[in-house]
Structure 1
Amino acid sequence: MSDYILAIDQGTTGSTVLLLDKDLNLVSRGYREFRQIYPKPGWVEHDPGDIWNSVTGAIADALKEWGMENPPIKAIGITNQRETSIIWDRRTGRPMHNAIVWQCRRTADICQKLKDAGHEDLFRQKTGLVLDPYFSGTKYKWILDQVTGLRESASAGKIAAGTVDSYLVYRLTGSQSHVTDVSNASRTLLMDIHKGDWDPELCSILDVPQSILPKIVGSAEVYGYTKGVPGLADGIPVSGMAGDQQAALFGQACFTPGEAKCTYGTGAFMLMNTGDKPAIGSGGLLGTIAWNLDGTMQYASEGSAFIAGAAVQWLRDSLGFIESASQVEALAASVPDSEGVIVVPAFVGLGAPHWRPEARGIMTGLTRGTTRAHIARATLEGIALQNVDILKLMEKESGRDIKALKVDGGACANNLLMQMQADFLGCTIVRPKLVETTALGAAFLAGLGAGLFSGVDDIRASWQEDRVFEPKMKDAEREEILARWREAINKA
């Protein structure tokens, strides 16, 4: 009987669980959505209990589809929405506040005060990040400041903090392990990515006690063993972990400096492997840790657009243009172009390379003849156009031309969107056969951590191409659209 790996992909709107054999063939799949909480405009929360229930529900669905009793699972890997921040009671596991989601903008004032105090360059040099509400450190500070008595509980050692990976390991191991991997830790504004450890100075500036933070660990090692997880035997090693975008970079076999991928999920996230040295740029892009294998750190340059698939959800849920997300391609393709309409989907501010948390979405170029189809097409174009600004800066700062960009995530199944991306970027887009490369990366890291694989060559050999999209748009047309886009961005 083969050895199997369970990969948990805990995302912003739902949790996916994949069961794969040792050859990384997909055996079964489970998925559960969970609710989104919007207490105020620009604020986004999750109930940690909803997150956990979606994970256990997705595990149950995957096991049911598999149909095997006492499955021989030899390793569990985790990949997760990054930056989303949770503080919980160490003894009971009870969350002290809803999770503050990566999209949430409530800490914009805290970030501005840090900038006004002259801390921006210090944070950028030590963490590779910019002072933006996106990241976890200011979220921890906000919860500690707002929940009565929480700082006293922190001083007494009664609470734990972490990103979603840390919370899931804690729950999977029956409250035994409080850890986070280097890729997630590098997204907190609290870790020195040069040293690979929490930085006392940054923790002090943000007033986040280092004692509540998890132990930082590698991306492929045993963090603990399952205990009391519905549907799973006790004693399965939890042995691989990375933030979702780093896991996707790993799952796309981007092991060589200069190789890049873009994941289309709730947002769009472009990462390029930069090798064994941090990529600290001008501030438009982020320097981040990709992974740590056997003590060797690998770094990446990242550009993040906060809204991608969420823009299609907006068309579906808020405007009622479509009944399901899959219908957007046909609606957008029913017109030959957007007739000058531009949609900037800055619903929760602008991410890289602009970093304007105060920006909001806009739509320009409307005429009496504008239809739902034109707006749908312009929305897809907006998703793709955001990535042009990111890729061009990435090429400039790295000194490398990206000839081919690997893509993954749910929205990459949209052929029209992928052709738009190739056209606007002017480079080849390569889609793999298994587009759930985020979960694949987690599975491979777990297999490495549990000793099921010998090295990265195993995943490189398993990676398979599905389709290639070559740019077809003429340069003059591309420049005309990009000029309208830049004008709209300035108004957002």
Structure 2
Amino acid sequence: MSIENTSAATTNAQPKPKEDFVGENGDSGVQLDEEKLRQFYIGAIDQGTTSTRFIIFDGLGEPVAQHQIEFTQKYPHAGWHEHDPQEIVDSVDQCIELATQAFLGQGHDISDIKAIGITNQRETTVVWDTKTGEPLHNAIAWPDTRTKGLVREMKERDGAGELQDICGLPLSTYPSSVKLVWLLNHVEAVRHAYEEGRLSFGTIDTWLLYKLNGGKERDIHVTDPTNASRTMFMNLHTVKYDEKLLKFFGVEKDKINLPKIVPSSSATEFGSLSYGILKGIRIAGCLGDQSAALVGQQGFSPGSAKNTYGTGCFLLYNVGEKPVISQHGLLATIAYDFGGNRKPVYALEGSIAVAGSGVKFLMNNLGFITHSHKISDLAESVENNGGCVFVTAFSGLFAPYWIDDAKGTIFGITQYTERGHIARATLEATCFQTKAILDAMELDSGHKLAELSVDGGMSNSNLTMQTQANIVGIVIDRPAMRETTALGAAIAAGFAVDIWKEFDELKEINQRGRMIFEPNISKEESSRMFKKWSRAVEMCRGWLDTEEVNEDFDD
């Protein structure tokens, strides 16, 4: 029987050191005072979708102590995804305590820690009572799709077509705005608090800053532009809340406590820890997780790009000091805002809903593997995908497709199919979607990317990174220290307290031990693979009609 393969055979992924690739031209010429920088330490809270960690970095960006805790994922109904807001705070407290104890055990002092930065899962929405400081509902997590019916209705409203030009985001289940509207429409306690003017709203950064500062006693209620730009309430051009946007979503400013938007790097705006082992240490940096990863990858120049392979997959492309509103299915967002006399820096972003979560699906739901890191071994047990294409549309497809009625679909299964083929197709799904995003970014920016920096759990897989290089046809650049999201938060905090003063200094952080993956298949073969994937995407549309969407996602 003939099997039509849609992936290249095993290509003996052999990354090589970046210094061999760039040679002497890769040296920026900046000389760091390494002895001095090793005496400064910065803490970074990295609050992600499935786990929380606290990492203490030295001034060279090297982690010296850390602790990580997974927390509960709540799925009350199909398509719903929630977190307990207090459990998130508790996980942060525990990580800070245990990582700091390890830091002290190395002979350091708490006074050596000069500041703390925060990075967080974005769009995840928390509401609480302004008077009591207590949550009024579970946090609605960013992948949650309960608002599908609501989004479809909103797309028919007057002015819907103008929103993206103002805030950079298309109407979808993704941003915080539609999650807040759902809460107002469906949760009585939230609606009552809103009508009585005691409803506080925030993304995870705002919630953590509020609680870590002591809650209602200090009432620190702030956010940074990278997080505010994910709500659909902020004007991307003015970096302020926009009356037209608020009116579209039916949100009245005098009835809700919206967080103040402040720069991502600030020595004063974020307060300090009000309790615990690091009580009194100031919080000086705050970045949404994907912006933090771009900063951690030193993506400070227009044209720089990074891809983070986490629960989802997120590609950011630095476009400079003026926003570029995408015409090809991407998001426009704030990359970072380091304050002072500097202008905010913008980015184009492509978001893939399922990356590492696809691996966890194979592990937890189908029992293919016992640990997620074993996925590469399973994928390498076969020479190719055996004709299988897996469109991992568990929550629809995000950029650049924005197909919300798609469902996860495996094409090409035969009696020949083994677990290894599906494992390989799962890894390839993320690589194909990255290719689609890069193509859209090239169309929006007018420039073809030459190199892509990568981080996140799936980037540990040599097979996945070699596959990625083959599919996108450009060089993949992987750091040795891949905690770049936390590092970005540490950089924002360190910049605020003058550990670093110039971006040129930061460009030398985390450059040692980077590895390069170069394409090693022909452009024709790569094109054939992507054409098959594109056909599968078109075939996975339309699993739900409007009535079924409303049945599945509305109360």
Superposed, 1:123-162 pairs within 5 Å as 123-162=163-202
Q: Does 1:71 align with 2:120?
A: no
TM-superposed CA distance for 1:339, in Å, is 1.1
Gaps of 5+ in 2: 1-37, 541-555
Alignment-derived partner of residue 5 in structure 1: 42
Specify whether residues 445 and 227 from structure 1 end up closer, same or farther in structure 2 by C-alpha distance, changes over 3 A only: closer
**Aligned 8 A contact 1:137 1:208 in 2:** no
Q: CA deviation at 1:352?
A: 0.2
The more displaced of 476-485 and 29-38 is 476-485
Q: Which has the higher strand share?
A: 1
User: Hey, what does 2:290 align to over in structure 1?
Assistant: 245
Check whether the contact 2:222–2:270 (CA below 8 A) recurs between aligned residues. Answer: no
The one-letter code of the counterpart of 1:32 is I
Higher relative contact order (CA 8 A, sep 6+): 2
Q: Secondary structure at the match of 1:24?
A: coil
**Native 8 Å contact 1:30 1:59 kept in 2:** yes
Q: Any idea what the Cα deviations from partners look like across 1:127-166, whole Å, max 9, x if unmatched? A: 0100001000011111122221433422433221100010
Distance 1:92-1:69 versus aligned 2 partners, 3 A rule = farther
**What corresponds to 2:420 in structure 1?**
373
Question: 1:227 offset after TM fit, Å?
Answer: 4.1
Once the two structures are TM-superposed, the CA of residue 475 in structure 1 deviates from its matched residue by 2.2
Q: Kindly name which structure, 1 or 2, has the bigger radius of gyration based on alpha carbons.
A: 2
| AA in 1 matched with 2:316 | L
| Residue among 1, 14, 26 paired with 2:63 | 26
Cross-structure match for 2:457: 410
Mapped pair 1:315 → 2:362: yes
Partner of 1:212: 257
3-state DSSP of counterpart to 1:442: helix
CA distance in 2, matches of 1:17, 1:227: 14
Task: Give the aligned partner of residue 442 of structure 2.
Answer: 395
Equivalent residue, structure 2, for 1:229: 275
- One-letter code aligned to 1:226: S
Distance 1:283 1:88 in 2: 37
AA at the equivalent of 2:528 = E
Q: CA deviation at 1:209?
A: 3.1
2:94 is the alignment partner of 1:54:
no
Structure 1: how far apart are the matches of 2:353 and 2:168? 18
TM-score between both structures, scaled by the size of structure 1:
0.97
SS at match of 1:93: coil
Question: What is the aligned partner in structure 2 of residue 384 from structure 1?
Answer: 431
Match of 1:491 in 2: 539
TM-score of the aligned structures, taking structure 2 as reference length: 0.86
The question of whether the paired residues in 1 share the 8 Å contact of 2:390 and 2:410 is answered with: yes
SS of aligned partner of 1:312: helix
More divergent stretch after superposition (14-23 vs 324-333): 14-23
Once the two structures are TM-superposed, the CA of residue 414 in structure 1 deviates from its matched residue by: 0.7
Identity percentage of aligned residues: 42
Q: After the TM superposition, which of the residue ranges 6-15 and 208-217 deviates more from structure 2? A: 208-217
SS of match in other structure, 2:275: coil
**How much does 1:359 deviate?**
1.1
Once the two structures are TM-superposed, the CA of residue 214 in structure 1 deviates from its matched residue by: 0.3
- What does residue 330 of structure 2 align with? 285
For residue 98 of structure 1, the aligned residue among 125, 132, 138 is 138
Q: Tell me which of 103, 117, 123 is aligned to 1:83.
A: 123
Letter in 1 for 2:432: L
> Do 1:273 and 1:301's aligned partners in 2 also have CA atoms closer than 8 Å?
yes
* Matched residue, 1:108: 148
Alpha-carbon separation, structure 2, partners of 1:162 and 1:138: 13
Q: Distance in 1 between matches of 2:41 and 2:434?
A: 36
Match of 1:184 among 227, 232, 241: 227
Query: Paired residue for 1:264?
Result: 309
The root-mean-square deviation of aligned C-alpha atoms, in Å, is: 1.4
Q: Would you say the 8 A contact 2:85–2:139 is kept in 1?
A: yes
Deviations 1:15-61 (A, max 9, x none): 11110122322111110000111111111111111211111121122
Equivalent residue, structure 2, for 1:329: 376
- The aligned counterpart of 1:345 is 392
CA distance in 2: counterparts of 1:410 and 1:26, whole angstroms: 17
Matched letter for residue 225 of structure 1: G
Shift of 1:226: 2.8
- Residue identity in the other structure for 1:189: M
Q: Is the 8 A contact 2:296 2:486 kept in 1?
A: yes
CA deviation after TM superposition for structure 1 residue 254, in Å? 0.8
Deviation at 1:298? 0.5
Residues 103 and 134, structure 1, Cα contact 8 Å, conserved in 2: yes
Offset from partner CA, 1:365-404 (integer Å, 9 cap, x none)? 1110111111111111111111111001101110111010
- Residue 401 of structure 2, aligned match among 354, 360, 365: 354
Structure 1 counterpart SS, 2:326: coil
Contact 1:124 1:283 in 2 (8 A): no
Contact 1:223 1:237 in 2 (8 A): no
Give the aligned partner of residue 299 of structure 1: 346
CA contact (8 A) 1:79 1:242 kept: yes
